[in-house]
Amino acid sequence: MLTEDGKHLYVSYDEYHNLIEKLAIKIHQSGWEFDNILCLARGGMRPGDILSRIFDKPLAIMSTSSYRAEAGTVQGHLDIARYITTPKGEIAGKVLLVDDLADTGHTLHAVVNQLKNNYQPITELRTAVIWTKGVSAFKSDYSIQDLPTNPWIQQPFEPYDNIRPEKLLEKWRV
């Protein structure tokens, strides 16, 4: 649900999972066959995991980070891991790169360039995201919601950004 001011998009768990299912349908209907799914941690891990299960494809993980300050709401310097974690060997063949959103597009653009320049066993690379913001300089091959504005997307698991073990101890009185 987009707020009236257009600055926040609130997404429930059900909506989140429905959007991932719609993304799976869009990828399937394209007819493109791929060998592996590579998700960007952290945002792409949940959609990557679900798509890996739906398509029955191995899931690889590449860690990236640019949101750090103020409980992950302020974008900073982009860090991209040098290594990809895969279930076996190295990532190769046709790869679907998955993230939750194309925000500015900076992360996806940088990762795609790194993969194309440094991972020669990848023969074809396509990208999939749930959301693409209007300010994004990157257009993914597969996207479900194009957002004309630049809202902060309140994903259903974001409250955990501000919860620490001490708060859980208080909550559950363990």
Query: Can you say how many angstroms the Cα of residue 30 is from the centroid of all Cα atoms in its chain?
Result: 20
Partners of residue 60 on adjacent β-strands: 38
Nearest 5°: the CA angle 113, 135, 69 is 80
Lowest-confidence segment of 12-16, 50-54, 86-90, 118-122 by average pLDDT: 86-90
Higher per-residue pLDDT: 47 or 83: 47
Q: What is the mean pLDDT of residues 4-21?
A: 89
Q: What is the mean pLDDT of residues 126-139?
A: 96
| pLDDT classification of 101: cutoffs 50, 70, 90 | very high
For the chain, the structural domain boundaries read 8-172
Q: What is the pLDDT of residue 24?
A: 98
**DSSP result, 55-124:** HT--EEEEEEEEEEHHHHTEEEEEEE-S--B-SSS---EEEEEE-SEESSSHHHHHHHHHHHHH-TTEEE
- The region, left, alpha or beta by phi > 0 then psi within -120 to 50, assigned to residue 154 is beta
Q: What is the pLDDT of residue 79?
A: 74
Q: What is the pLDDT of residue 2?
A: 52
Q: What is the pLDDT of residue 33?
A: 97
Fold of 8-172: Rossmann fold (3.40.50)
Q: What is the pLDDT of residue 77?
A: 67
Q: Is pLDDT above 50 for 71?
A: no
Q: Is pLDDT above 80 for 121?
A: yes
Q: What is the mean pLDDT of residues 145-158?
A: 92
Q: Is 83 exposed, middle or buried (0-12, 13-18, 19+ CB in 10 A)?
A: exposed
Q: Are 25 and 54 in contact (CB under 8 A)?
A: no
Tell how many helices (H) and how many strands (E) occur in the chain: 5, 9
Q: What is the mean pLDDT of residues 130-149?
A: 95
Q: What is the spatial distance between Cα 108 and Cα 131, in angstroms, rounded to a whole number?
A: 13
Task: Look up the pTM and report it.
Answer: 0.87
Q: What is the spatial distance between Cα 162 and Cα 143, in angstroms, rounded to a whole number?
A: 29
Q: Is pLDDT above 60 for 3?
A: no
